[in-house]
Amino acid sequence: MSRATFLLALPAMSVLALFLIVLLSFASVSLMVVDPGGAVFHGPPTLTNYGKLLVSEGAWRAVLTTLRLSSEITVLTVLFGYPLARVLARSHSRTLRRVILFCLVATFLSGGVTRAYAWLIILGNQGLINQGLRAVGLPRAALINNEFAVIVSVLNFVLPFFVLTLFGALRTIPETLEHAARNLGASRWRSFVTVTLPLSLPGLAAATSLCFALSLGAFLFPQMLGGGRVQVLATAIYDRIQASYDVPSAAALAVLFLLLLLLMLAVVGCIRRLVAIRFAGEAT
Amino acid sequence: MRRAVIDHARSVSPAVTALGLVTLGFVLLPLPFIVLYALSRNSYALFSSQGFTLQWFQRFFENDRFMAALQNSLAVSVITTVAALIIAAPTVIVAVRHRFRGRDLMMALISAPLLVPGVITGTAALSFVAQTGVGPGFWPITVAMICFTLPLVLRPLVANLSGLDSDLEKAARNLGASPLAAFWTVTMPQLAPGLVAGGTFAFVEAMDNFSITVFLTSITTTTLPVEAYSYIRDIDDPTVAAMATLLILMSVGVVFAIEWLLGLDRFLDMS
């Protein structure tokens, strides 16, 4: 590495080093024990916190809830997002494409708190839907403080990321390939399933893993719309800090969360590589 | 001729178009209700017979805590954007133009702050500022945001620089320009799209971040999203909807600005 390279990379490397130091020192806190009744913690290093996590029913439930919710959200995102990405990439109406693009980027930029609050207004006990139900004499529906509200709001948040990423991949696939299949007599559906879908798989895998990672880490939406009844890993860590000031135990849970995330990323990476190998082989 | 045009126009089936529009409707659904609620006279009803009012906007601007939080958020976002761009610019040259061992590892590590869930970064930063005695507040929030937005700024810049012809810079060198002068006068102007795209991401994400900043705010220093969160929890009237409406207007303004400066297509090419 030349001196110029070193100097140019130095500022960014310092930021990165600070980030890693902060994370590692937090991981080391997970080996300490908190004094009963106080926020002070001390050594010597022990695995007590991890031992407690292993037998904690709440922690395991949070792991399972996190995995289940993010899988459900990911499946829904793919089902709802793919058609929109396809319209955005393939529609011949320039106006339609511009309108979709404009709406997606505007919502994407309008922020999480804004949209979480909007879902409170819509789904809340005094919210839009329940006001409508009351107006026609129906009983109140429990639409908030449950997994339904969390899934709807996270899905809404993740969709623009997914559609914009998939759109980037879809528009690099030559449309002429689809036209060729159609000219040879394939139906629209068949030309999609046999030509476009396989070619879009690498892009689909990238967009899907992005949206899975975003749902795994989601915090604001479970916190605001779960109302304390939906405990995912992110909210469980927050509670350990805010409610019980137990930093070492929060740190242990965070380390567990990070390991889980790395595991999921490794699995997703393997799937992506398999997809790439399989379809690259078929294309040649 | 006309038949051919119709056939092309239908390369996406009407059913898929309809499904896509349903999804778009779902994505947009929250926004109109926020605006309606912000204009509602009655703080418990979305549609009241009493007509519309701007009083919640007035309340937002008259609320000292919101104004202080707004100032903090704007200051954090501006400093973050400038700092992230200054740090990212030399890194991009290394990432695109230099060849050395460990370059791929370096680029992978740089995107780590994006992958780590905000709650973990936030709690880790809180624990760090507590242990070192710095304490939470404005500068820890700003440093955390610089760290978090750096990969977001780098990505469009890398895409931008990779697409440029390095021979232009070499031509400038042959004509006697120093390496720095050649970069500054030839390459830098061509990096404008990447800087605009990266700067937009950094500003918006720093302005909107909740999951990291919530751990680093103090009683005296809060940010807009964190203040909005505690207001919703404690009071909950349409003042927050007025704030959200202003943020929506801001993002619509940003989209128009991007379209005008770069074109949305180019903006997306780089992100």
CA pair distance B126, B229, nearest whole angstrom: 19
Q: Is residue B29 part of a domain?
A: yes
pLDDT in tens, B38-55: 998 876 666 666 678 899
User: Do B184 and B246 reside in the same domain of the chain?
Assistant: yes
Residue that terminates a domain, selected from B28, B53, B78: B53
Average pLDDT, chain A: 88
**Percent of chain A topping pLDDT 90:** 45
Q: What is the mean pLDDT of residues A262-275?
A: 85
Confidence of residue B3 (pLDDT cuts 50, 70, 90): very low
Same domain, B164 and B40: no
Asked whether residue B85 falls in the same domain as residue B28, the answer is no
Evaluate whether A192 touches A124 at the Cβ level (below 8 Å): no
Predicted model pTM: 0.90
- Which of A111-115, A184-188, B91-95, B138-142 tops mean pLDDT? B138-142
For B163-172, give one letter per residue: b (16+ CB within 10 A) or e.
Answer: ebeeeebeeb
Domain architecture of chain A: domains with CATH: 57-283 (1.10.3720.10)
The CATH number of residue B152's host domain is: 1.10.3720.10
CA–CA gap between residue A119 and residue B43 (Å, rounded): 16
For A134-179, what is each residue's pLDDT tens digit? Answer: 889 888 888 989 999 999 999 999 999 999 999 988 988 888 888 8
Q: Is A257 on the interface with B (CB under 8 A)?
A: yes
- Give the span between the Cα atoms of B227 and B229, in whole angstroms: 5
Q: In the block, which residue shows the tokens 């390095």?
A: B166
H or E segment to which residue A102 belongs: helix A94-109
Bridge partners (DSSP) of residue A33 are A42
Share of chain A above pLDDT 70, in %: 96
How far apart are the two ends of chain A, measured CA to CA in Å? Answer: 38
Do B137 and B5 have their domain in common? no
- Residue among A195, A216, A197 at smallest CA distance from A205: A197
Query: Does B225 reach chain A within 8 Å, measured CB to CB?
Result: yes
CB-nearest partner of A257 from B117, B128, B228: B117
Given A92, A112, A254, which is nearest B11 (Cβ)? A92
Burial class, B268, CB count within 10 angstroms (exposed 0-12 / middle 13-18 / buried 19+): buried
Interface of B with A in 156-195 (CB under 8 A): none
Residue B92 sits in the same domain as residue B40: no
Q: Are residues B49 and B73 in the same domain?
A: no
Q: Examine the domain organization and report whether B45 and B88 are in the same domain.
A: no
**Do B223 and B135 share a structural domain?**
yes
With b for 16 or more beta-carbon neighbours within 10 A and e for fewer, the A69-88 pattern comes to: bbebbbebbbebbbbbbbbb
Average pLDDT, chain B: 88
Instruction: Note whether residue B145 is domain-resident.
Output: yes
Nearest CA in chain B to A215: B117
Please state the rounded mean pLDDT for residues B230-254: 90
**What is residue B83's predicted lDDT score, i.e. its pLDDT?**
98
Q: A87 to chain B nearest CA, in Å?
A: 6
Rounded to whole angstroms, how far apart are CA atoms B128 and B122?
10
Cα nearest neighbour of A261 on chain B = B116
Q: State the pLDDT confidence band at B146, using cuts at 50, 70 and 90.
A: very high
Of B90, B115, B228, the CB nearest to A213: B115
Q: Which of B35, B70, B106, B119 to mutate to test the interface with A (most CBs of A within 10 A)?
A: B119
| 3-class DSSP assignment, residue A34 | strand
The answer to whether B247 touches B228, Cβ cutoff 8 Å, is no
What is the total count of domains within chain B? Answer: 2
- A284 vs chain B: nearest CA distance in angstroms? 26
DSSP state of A126: T
**Structure confidence at residue B259 (pLDDT):** 87
Q: How confident is the model at residue A3 (pLDDT cuts 50, 70, 90)?
A: confident
Is the same domain home to B5 and B47?
Answer: yes
Q: Is residue B264 part of a domain?
A: yes
Chain B CB within 8 Å of residue A214 CB: no
Spatial separation of the C-alpha atoms in residues A172 and B156, rounded to whole Å = 18
Q: How confident is the model at residue A46 (pLDDT cuts 50, 70, 90)?
A: confident
**pLDDT score of B48:** 60
**Is residue B2 one of the residues assigned to a domain?**
yes
Query: Is B248 strand, coil or helix?
Result: helix
Q: What is the pLDDT of residue A284?
A: 39
For residues B148 and B37, membership in a common domain is answered with no
The whole domain housing B69 covers 63-269
B151 domain residue, yes or no: yes
- Contact yes or no for A106 and B241 at CB 8 A: no
Domain match, B170 and B197 both: yes
The more confidently predicted of residues B43 and A191 is: A191
B217 domain-assigned:
yes
State how far Cα A283 lies from the chain centre. Answer: 31
pLDDT band of residue B14 (cuts 50, 70, 90) is confident
Q: What is the pLDDT of residues B99-120, one digit of tens each?
A: 888 888 888 888 888 889 999 9
C-alpha dihedral (B118, B121, B124, B126), degrees to nearest 10: -70
Average of per-residue pLDDT across A189-211? 88
Could B27 and A115 be called an inter-chain contact, meaning their C-beta atoms sit closer than 8 Å?
no
Count CB atoms within 10 A of the CB of residue B192: 12
- pLDDT tens digits, residue range A11-41? 999 999 999 999 999 999 999 887 766 667 7
In-domain check, residue B58: no
Question: Where is the domain boundary, B18, B34, B53?
Answer: B53
* B142 shares its domain with B25: no
Q: Which of residues 148-207 of A touch B (CB under 8 A)?
A: 155-156, 159-160, 163-164, 167-168, 175, 178-179, 188-189
Residue B101 contacts A where some CB pair is shorter than 8 Å: yes
